[in-house]
Structure 1
Amino acid sequence: MEALSSWFTYVSANIDYIWESTLAHARISLIAVALATVFSITLGVIVQRRPLARTIVLTAAGILLTIPSLALFALFIPVFGIGNTPAIAALYLYAILPILRNTVTGLDSVSPAVVESARGMGLSTWQQLVKVRLPLAWPVIMTGIRVATLLTVGITAIAVLVGGDGLGTYVQSALTRNGLPNATEQLYVGVVFTVALGLVLDLVLAVVQRFTTAKGLRL
């Protein structure tokens, strides 16, 4: 209980700085996910009906996800310098696979009969995509976006190692000050608020998913 009380005391005394770091953490994560969403959905639509291209891009995206986080962050330092930009670039690459895979899977799940009916009604290929295929695939795509967001929020904690902002600053400070006053409290601030941020963003996206999904497709 004493440790918990000490943690709450630390949080209360530093809430403004913690809130600022949390917002910076969210901003970095959401920028990366937004960029990855636009790219992945577009690429998914392009390759979904092209088996060879689809295999190549999914394999490439999977390979990117296997690169150690710190190594990938460091690769962008010569290009962008230190700060948030190399972190966003690396996070963007990590976020591609879940969204891309779910875009392809979602489009695959659309019944050919439904597409054929849309074609019979005179809808062009573009109209079929926008009015039929993407809306029907949207719940699966949103699931990919939510997974990518959770993944990105967790990895963003490493951004501090390339000069970025976010809650990782508390984890780094705790590790470098191990054994000193408030080190443990700082560590738990970094961990607890990162987890809380991920859960909040996932909840927000769940609400967005519900209100942007056709009523007949809602669970």
Structure 2
Amino acid sequence: MNLWGYVQGRGGTLAFLTYQHASLSLQTVLVGTLIALAVAMAVYRLPVLSALTLTSSRVALTIPSLALLALLIVPLGLGVPPSFTMLAFFAAMPVIGNAVVGLRSVPPSLVEAARGIGLPRWRILLSVELPMAWPVILTGIRVSTQMIVGVAAIVAYVLGPGLGSLIFNGLSRLGGANALEMAFTGTVLIVAIALVFDALLVLLGRLTIPKGLR
């Protein structure tokens, strides 16, 4: 395998595909996280709804991503729309579960103390419950990010952006010139993106989580 020979002269293309993959992953995780937090904040005080949400988020992760992507072709066509929708859906699932668990695990005594000094419900959520639940929520975001960076490779199936096109093209041409190098390069770059994102999230945790909650 002549990996260096394949990479030489293709730096611009590889950099662009890497940027596409990282950008798509980042955007879908951000959107999925916002949706997940909104859902979690809506249901965490309601035992039946929160239990149903937890179960649903876990079951949703068993849906084959390729099958969901194929189903989205019918209403959304090819390219970015089905790719973004599928990835944002899966990105939300781990965060929903962790956000509900984190919010429900805040000690009731802290909530009562905040209520006792006259804080309204929304202030208690923003200034007490969410900060206390943040370490658990951030863990969910890390899991979601690692999963999405990997799953994003399959959007090449619907002509989506990113490094998946290298892997798909390489595997479809196995035995041909540069086929193995193409697939291997795509895989290595996806792993590199995952490692960089995880390092950034670890740094975010260091900056935003008080030492007493780590």
2:57/2:97 contact within 8 Å kept: no
Q: Give the corresponding residue for 1:106.
A: 102
Residues 114-129 of structure 1 aligned to structure 2 (within 5 Å): 114-129=110-125
Counterparts of 2:59 and 2:37 in 1: how far apart (Å)? 19
Q: Give the corresponding residue for 1:48.
A: 44
Indicate which of 20, 23, 27 corresponds to 2:19: 23
Matched, 1:214 2:210: yes
Matched, 1:7 2:16: no
Q: Which moved more, 1:137-146 or 1:10-19?
A: 10-19
Counterparts of 1:115 and 1:215 in 2: how far apart (Å)? 21
| Counterpart amino acid of residue 23 in structure 2 | R
| Counterpart amino acid of residue 46 in structure 2 | R
Indicate which of 81, 93, 102 corresponds to 1:97: 93
How far does residue 109 in structure 1 lie from its aligned partner after superposition?
2.1
TM (norm. structure 2) is: 0.95
Q: Give the corresponding residue for 2:64.
A: 68
Counterparts of 1:182 and 1:88 in 2: how far apart (Å)? 29
Give CA deviations for 1:144-183 in whole Å, capped at 9, x if unaligned. 0111011001000000001101111111111111111111
How far does residue 215 in structure 1 lie from its aligned partner after superposition?
4.2
Gap regions ≥5 residues in structure 1: none
Counterparts of 2:50 and 2:129 in 1: how far apart (Å)? 17
| Counterpart amino acid of residue 21 in structure 1 | L
Moved over 4 A (4+): none
Q: Kindly report the root-mean-square deviation, in angstroms, between the aligned alpha carbons of the 2 structures.
A: 1.3
How many residues were matched structurally? 214
Secondary structure, aligned partner of 1:66: coil
Indicate which of 190, 194, 198 corresponds to 2:194: 198
Q: Give the corresponding residue for 2:139.
A: 143
Q: Which moved more, 1:75-84 or 1:151-160?
A: 75-84
| Counterpart amino acid of residue 115 in structure 1 | V
Counterparts of 2:54 and 2:92 in 1: how far apart (Å)? 9
| Counterpart amino acid of residue 36 in structure 2 | S
Matched, 1:82 2:78: yes
| Counterpart amino acid of residue 93 in structure 1 | F
Gap regions ≥5 residues in structure 2: none
| Counterpart amino acid of residue 13 in structure 2 | Y
Counterparts of 2:57 and 2:50 in 1: how far apart (Å)? 11
Matched, 1:131 2:127: yes
1:135/1:214 contact within 8 Å kept: no
